[in-house]
Amino acid sequence: MKIVTSLIAASVAVLSLCSVALAQAKGGVIDVATIGEPPTLDPMASTADLVGMVTQHIYETLYTFDKDWNTTPLLAAEMPTISEDGLTYTIPLRTGVTFHDGAAMTSADVVASLERWMRIATRGKQTAEIIKSVEATDEATVTITLNKAYAPLIALLSLNNSAAIIIPAANAEQDPLTSFIGTGPYMLKEQRADQFIQLVRFEDYQSIDAEPNGYGGGRMQYLDEIRFVPVPDPNTRVEGAVSGQFAYADSLPVEAYERLSGGQTEPLVLKPFGWPAFIFNTKEGLGSNLAFRKAVQAALAPQDMMLAAFGSEEFFTIDGAFYPDNFAWHTDAGTEVYLPEGDVEKAKTLAQEAGYDGTTPIRILTSRQYEFHYKMAQVAQAYLEMAGFKVQLDVVEWATLTQTRTDPAAWDIYISHSPFLSEPALMGVLNDTSPGWWVSDAKAAALDAFNAEVDPDRRVELFADVQKIIYEEVPLIKVGNFNALAAQSPKLEGVTPASWPYFWNAYLTE
């Protein structure tokens, strides 16, 4: 049985796994069951985890994260040289790297890709306000000049979500992206809607000459082919794993744990994984009223929502802090308004103060592909109705949800979740253009101070101010912390437990 009690601790095992995997011959095909069809194969254009999970095999970024969530070079040859004033980043590029079409990657491709990222990606648009210029110093060097110091820059360039992928300069003008060419260890062969996304080994891939290290280090290509299969129904994903149809099945309901034990699959628990959240539309409609958001915050009962979603306290904890206490970023600032049991009477009072008319429905956008989202929505509906709100649950496919949430006229709350990210500035809610569109002077002041500070200890102190503003202005409601469940075939080895599962370095045994 494969039970992973800590993402960080689990990743330490990758070196021993790799030493075994190095002896394995190439070959084999795996089917990976995902929660559905990704809305796009352009990771710049989406913040959906599913998009990043699939496309990280096709495209690469300048930097990525190691097993301890430190940034590490990927397409960059080294970590950047940063000027004393923190405004100039000189990034040397790896040479000999080729795209899937055989063309060599140069600084011209990197510049064009980063310019597209700043034009298209939500995180790129936010960063564009801070970047003064991106220039090719020579064929193997790029210089990024900022108009003010910005500590999260390299972490943003490392993330596979709203990602700063590097693509051929000739494709960087495409919007939407129609040519899916990257530098990654696998390349797209075929996509059949609602059937599979077929990736095959890129024979000319240039791996970093190093031991695998989280998302960083060497990326070995043992498997001939990886097929990502959309399976929207979570119980179908479970049964497919149990029968041996899938080598890996992602995002399974936790009550399936015993069903997955033994036989042709094994349960894989990622602990702690992240936090679910109810995200408000602060731009239009009911959610644009702060008093209304505070009324909903008071009405909801995190304890009951998490219990309904995860069943056993082995799979969740009730915690209002955005990072658990084993993270350096942990702080209780602002969490005094986090009420595990909720307060319906307080919610009724706040709803009156907000001028809620009692008839306009709160439109909650959710999906059953993440079953725990839907279960939390059901409990939330009950508590909100007790507080006098009318509730409309809009249950859609996850791909539909990720498109619908971009329309501020279509929803009031949507349900999502996030893993615990190494850099708080990567949290989607802190991005002005992320669906929810939370913008305020207080947020800007707290976030600007946090992002401009380079001293790690001081940044921890300043994050407390950021968390406090989140609780004061309620752009979202954090429900709690949860552990995630997946399933993996005993024949599949070399997979490092990760927030976004990846299958380079993976291999099949008899």
Provide the residue-wise pLDDT of the chain in tens; the chain has 510 residues.
444 444 434 443 443 444 444 456 789 999 999 999 999 999 999 988 999 999 999 999 999 999 988 999 999 999 999 999 999 999 999 999 999 999 999 999 999 999 999 999 999 998 999 999 999 999 999 999 999 999 999 999 999 989 999 999 999 999 999 999 999 999 999 999 999 999 999 999 999 999 999 999 999 999 999 999 999 999 999 999 999 999 999 999 998 999 998 779 999 999 889 999 999 999 999 999 999 999 999 999 999 999 999 988 889 999 999 999 989 999 999 999 999 999 999 999 999 999 999 999 999 999 999 999 999 999 999 999 999 999 999 999 999 999 999 999 999 999 999 999 889 999 999 999 999 999 999 999 999 999 999 898 999 999 999 999 999 999 999 999 999 999 999 999 999 888 899 999 999 997
CA–CA gap between residue 221 and residue 198 (Å, rounded): 15
Domains and CATH numbers, the chain: 1-58+184-265+489-510 (3.40.190.10), 60-177 (3.90.76.10), 274-484 (3.10.105.10)
Answer for the pair 415, 250: CB distance below 8 angstroms, yes or no.
no
What's the pTM? Answer: 0.87
For residue 59 the two structure tokens come to: 């495209």
Cis amide prior to 272 (ω within 30 degrees): yes
Q: In this structure, what DSSP letter does residue 429 have?
A: G
For residue 502 the two structure tokens come to: 């990846």
CA–CA gap between residue 322 and residue 342 (Å, rounded): 18
For residue 287 the two structure tokens come to: 């959610």
The pLDDT value given to residue 16: 40
What is Dmax (Cα atoms) for the chain? Answer: 68
Task: For strands 266-280 and 2-4, give the pairing.
Answer: parallel
The pLDDT value given to residue 64: 97
Answer for the pair 405, 365: CB distance below 8 angstroms, yes or no.
yes
Q: In this structure, what DSSP letter does residue 410 have?
A: S
CA–CA gap between residue 121 and residue 125 (Å, rounded): 6
The pLDDT value given to residue 6: 40
Task: For strands 390-395 and 361-366, give the pairing.
Answer: parallel
